[in-house]
Structure 1
Amino acid sequence: MTALQIRPVTKEDHAAWLPLWQAYLKFYNTELPDAVTESSWQRFLDPSETTNAALAWKDGKAVGMVHYIYHRSNWSIENSCYLQDLLVVPEQRGTGLGRKLIEFVNTDAKAAGAGKVHWLTHETNATAIQLYERIAERPGFIQFRKAL
């Protein structure tokens, strides 16, 4: 058995990443046009983009993914890091992999000079909320959005 490895995606990882991305979208009962998926993938590979992706590997198989985006903030001089998407395959849930993926982002964000990492989850995602409440503060803000 090989040790767990988390690393940024490379162009060779597309076939491993895509099923995880599709499982993530299915978990949230949503679909996106293929053009959006392809655009996101290309952004992950472009070093001039602020959006990033990493995969967790175990025994040669991708078992988790995380996407995160650096952005400016009017509340600090440092950039912030938005952890946008996080998925652990069902057979790896409860092993600490979700926490390790978040720690990977925290480490990368700190190295990039970001002042904070923040994220959202759906109010029905009780399992994720249990983890998040152990490792981060819950500031109490409510999200609103308007599609344009």
Structure 2
Amino acid sequence: MATDPSARLRLRPATPADVPVIRGLIEGLAEYEKLRHECHATDALLHDALFGPRPHAEVVLAEWDGQVAGFALFFHNFSTFLARPGIYLEDLFVRPEQRGHGIGKALLMHLAHVAVQRGCGRLEWSVLDWNVDAIGFYEKLGARAQDEWTVYRVTGDALTHLASGQAGHE
């Protein structure tokens, strides 16, 4: 656990009891990103993914004056070129009314510390290209865009078709 000198900010790992709060933060992020229609997270799905027999991700919660103000959800990936694990930050969100207190920076600093502590070769994430405030924030912290890469994704029916070998047979 980390606490700033003024004791207003506290970072802590999430527990199973935090799942409803995490879901609420995810829904807040989805609203902010104008993607609420794509948010299908439930308490049960989150509980299994974060605290089930094989956890797939971790969450750090940020509390400001004792109230949950934001979160970072992350998981390990792997760099074959570095032959080391990395941390992928899936989501970083601070409630709008709590912004401006350094909470986002504290969460990223915490994840950088975790990455170094765990022997990771990098910390990376994606940002929507219209989110200029976040882009500016990340660049001030030393992050650099990886413009030479294009992200591809397969979901829904396309994922099912690919898994069954039916992809590309239209």
Matched residue, 1:25 = 30
Which is greater in Rg? 2
**Displaced runs of 4 or more, over 4 A:** none
CA contact (8 A) 2:19 2:46 kept: no
Matched residue, 1:138 = 145
Structure 2 residue runs without a partner (length 5+): 1-5, 160-170
Normalising to structure 1: TM-score of the pair? 0.87
What is the letter of the counterpart of residue 110 of structure 1? V
Alignment of structure 1 residues 50-89 onto 2, 5 Å: 50-89=56-95
Q: Aligned with 1:40: secondary structure?
A: helix
Matched residue, 2:9 = 4
Matched residue, 1:38 = 44
Distance 1:44 1:89 in 2: 21
Say what the alpha-carbon RMSD is for the aligned residues. 2.0
Normalising to structure 2: TM-score of the pair? 0.77
Distance 1:85 1:141 in 2: 22
CA contact (8 A) 1:9 1:45 kept: no
User: How much has 1:140 moved relative to structure 2?
Assistant: 2.2
Q: Deviations over 1:78-128 (max 9, x none)?
A: 101111101011112222111111111111111111111001100111111
Q: Aligned with 2:82: secondary structure?
A: coil
* Larger RCO: 1 or 2 (CA < 8 Å, sep 6+): 1
User: How much has 1:50 moved relative to structure 2?
Assistant: 4.5
Matched residue, 1:97 = 103
What is the letter of the counterpart of residue 23 of structure 2? L
What is the letter of the counterpart of residue 145 of structure 1? Y
Relative to 1, partners in 2 of residues 1:41 and 1:124: Cα closer, same or farther, differing over 3 Å? farther
Distance 1:106 1:65 in 2: 15
Aligned length: 147
